[in-house]
């Protein structure tokens, strides 16, 4: 994308928020090397308005929205953070855009077709997320999905002006680099439908599993399982960890340069997936049938997994068996022949 004279063209981004906690914005502010402001500047992205980060308010914001609405202001990227609130009874009046007399969902439906790219930032905007849990009295949904059902606010057939469907940068919250990397790809003219998985998530992170790089992988290999959250063992068998199924790179692209849910001692709850918010059991509980976890690795036959798990448990070193149910390393690895294993 070049402006006259060959200089990179500025891309206008409009960021709106609806039914959510604002956590994806807070996460994005933790971007490092470079930070958020430097990243947007390097990409040539002009953030024309963000409800939490921009100084403009009141009439100034209404002028921006009207400018977009009447075509005086081009929006290249329209972002929504938080789910679309359609209640009560489909009116959207649970979330009216202040001073406009119109529900936010109506503004979104009108502005989305005017954007070159539409991005749902976070699992709420993508699928409905936490806001849609329970009885969903707010009638919350995503831009193009309602849970696993295609449709949402804009409909399954929605396409932005570039012909792309909604880009679902899912996560609860999103990793700052998932969002920024997607913007950088767009700014470079290097983002197409090929770069999206079956749920519309950017493949730059969705082609990976949380299991990759997990610090508990040695315990997983030998099926040395933790029974309590404070213990060091694998959390898949008893504590609900879905890292072998969750599409994200949390353990190889660490949060704040140092952490992830698993590194913090909590099981992966698969927050980049639709319907993650209602697993129909406690997040820290593994559903089982005849003692076998229901949520096995997605691309491995269950019979093979059970057979390999039996062999692995039979071969588990004593060191791992003891450490798995401890809250610190009781038996360190040793190179000495005859050392305690």
d(CA 281, CA 203): 29
Question: Residues near 216 by Cβ (< 8 Å), separated by ≥ 6?
Answer: 232, 233, 234, 235, 262
Which one is predicted more confidently, 134 or 304? 134
d(CA 161, CA 319): 58
Coil, strand, or helix at residue 8?
strand
- The answer on pLDDT for 35 being more than 70 is yes
Q: State the average pLDDT over residues 150-165.
A: 97
Q: Which residue has the tokens 């049938």?
A: 289
- The answer on pLDDT for 264 being more than 70 is yes
Q: How confident is the model at residue 308 (pLDDT cuts 50, 70, 90)?
A: confident
Mean pLDDT lowest for which of 16-25, 111-120, 331-340? 331-340
Which one is predicted more confidently, 174 or 314? 174
pTM: 0.90
Q: What share of the chain is helix, strand, coil (3-state, %, to 5)?
A: 25, 15, 60
Rg (CA), the chain: 23
Query: What is the overall mean pLDDT for the chain?
Result: 91
Question: Residues near 308 by Cβ (< 8 Å), separated by ≥ 6?
Answer: none
Coil, strand, or helix at residue 202?
strand
**CB-based burial of residue 7 (10 Å sphere; 0-12 exposed, 13-18 middle, 19+ buried)?**
exposed
CB 227, CB 235: distance < 8 Å: no
Taken in order 283, 199, 20, 38, the sign of the CA dihedral is positive
First to last CA, the chain: 60
d(CA 222, CA 318): 11
Enclosing H/E stretch for 145: strand 145-146
Q: pLDDT above 90 covers what percent of the chain? A: 80
Q: State the average pLDDT over residues 211-231.
A: 93
CA dihedral 27, 33, 39, 42 (to 10 degrees): 180
d(CA 241, CA 296): 10
Residue length of the chain? 341
Nearest to 136 by CA among 179, 181, 84, 72: 84
């Amino acid at each position: 994308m070049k402006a006259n004279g060959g200089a990179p063209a500025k891309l206008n981004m409009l960021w709106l928020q609806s039914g959510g906690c604002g956590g994806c914005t807070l996460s994005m502010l933790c971007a490092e090397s470079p930070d958020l402001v430097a990243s947007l500047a390097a990409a040539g992205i002009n953030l024309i308005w963000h409800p939490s980060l921009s100084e403009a308010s009141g009439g100034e914001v209404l002028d921006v929205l009207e400018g977009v609405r009447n075509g005086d202001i081009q929006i290249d990227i329209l972002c929504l953070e938080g789910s679309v609130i359609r209640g009560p009874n489909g009116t959207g009046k649970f979330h009216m855009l202040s001073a406009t007399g119109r529900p936010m969902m109506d503004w979104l439906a009108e502005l989305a077709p005017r954007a070159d790219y539409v991005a749902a930032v976070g699992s709420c905007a993508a699928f409905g997320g936490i806001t849609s849990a329970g009885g969903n009295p707010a009638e919350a949904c995503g831009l193009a999905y309602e849970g696993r059902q295609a449709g949402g606010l804009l409909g399954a057939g929605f396409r932005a002006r570039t012909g792309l469907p909604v880009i679902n940068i899912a996560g609860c919250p999103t990793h700052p680099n998932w969002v920024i990397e997607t913007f950088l790809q767009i700014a470079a003219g290097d983002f197409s439908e090929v770069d999206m998985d079956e749920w519309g998530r950017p493949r730059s992170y969705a082609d990976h599993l949380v299991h990759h790089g997990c610090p508990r992988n040695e315990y997983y290999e030998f099926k040395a399982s933790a029974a309590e959250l404070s213990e060091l063992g694998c959390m898949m068998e008893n504590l609900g960890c879905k890292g072998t199924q969750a599409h994200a790179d949390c353990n190889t692209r660490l949060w704040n340069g140092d952490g992830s849910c698993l590194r913090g001692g909590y099981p992966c709850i698969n927050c980049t997936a639709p319907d993650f918010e209602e697993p129909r059991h406690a997040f820290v509980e593994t559903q089982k049938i005849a003692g076998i976890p229901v949520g096995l690795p997605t691309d491995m036959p269950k019979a093979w997994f059970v057979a390999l798990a039996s062999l692995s448990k039979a071969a588990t070193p004593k060191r791992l068996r003891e450490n798995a149910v401890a809250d610190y390393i009781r038996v360190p690895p040793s190179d000495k022949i005859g050392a305690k294993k």
